[in-house]
Amino acid sequence: MAGKERISNRAFLWVWWQVAILSFGGPAAQIGVMQRLVVEERRWLSQARFNHALNFCLLLPGPEAQQLATYIGWLLKGVRGGFLAGVLFVLPGAMIMLGLSLLYVTVGRTSWVEGLLFGLQCAVLAIVAQALVGMAGKVLEGVWARTIAVVAFVAMFCWNLPFPLVVAAAGLLGWRLLADGDAGVSVDAAPARIPRAVPLTVLAAWLLPLAAVAAGLGLDSIWARIAGFFSLVSLFSFGGAYAVLAWVAQYASEQQAWLT
């Protein structure tokens, strides 16, 4: 891994701006762009460390791609790097969505926007497919890893087995293979130490604004409901960004009627 002192601030910010601008297609494409820029082109992280971080982020609640970006930023530039990487990762998309939302509210449906989004949908399918193929060659090391991936896909897609069950079974099998030395993968297990005050600071940064909104505007206000719901989503939406969509759609359209 590249030392923190060897990465200039300009290069660091430019990479995360590229990730934010170029990663159309959701988490698969976003992770693929990070893999290409951070590991292959810049060589700031080893492939083993990238895979190690990705495996953990896939099992955490919330969007795995943003968690991976934040973690990589923290590894490279400390707490400030993690904060900047996480913010830059979502900022362009958030600004574009805000602009389109304002356009929709003020103007209504416009044919050119609908045409633009339709064209993007078609291109995104190709982007996601390319990203998945590229990542598979980097992440799935050895016969056992490829076998587990294929069996997990069949179990969920063909047999409709629950996601937590498939993940737990794959994790236990992987642990057994590593313990026996049969996995055939390289593991970068060098830990990065987290200052004890960091988790408490993050928790306070999340809870204090939430409590201020609830106290100032009331628990029944739209702002408190938005803040409370998406806080729950960030904590309990296991399965990545695609799993988040079903929960948000159900709550926003069926329970709250915010959208059709």
pLDDT digits (tens, 9 = 90+) for 182-236: 655 555 545 556 677 777 887 888 788 878 878 888 888 888 888 888 888 887 7
- The whole-number pLDDT of residue 218 equals 81
Helices and strands: H and E segment counts in the chain: 10, 0
Average pLDDT over residues 67-85: 91
Q: How far apart are the first and last CA of the chain?
A: 47
| Structure-token pair, residue 126 | 């190709």
- This prediction has a pTM of 0.68
2: alpha, beta or left? (left if phi > 0; alpha if psi -120 to 50): beta
Once rounded to an integer, what is the mean pLDDT over residues 62-67? 86
The band of 260, judged by pLDDT with boundaries at 50, 70 and 90, is: confident
Phi, psi of 62 (to 5 degrees): 95, -175
In terms of Cα–Cα distance, which of 32, 42, 41, 37 is closest to 2?
Answer: 42
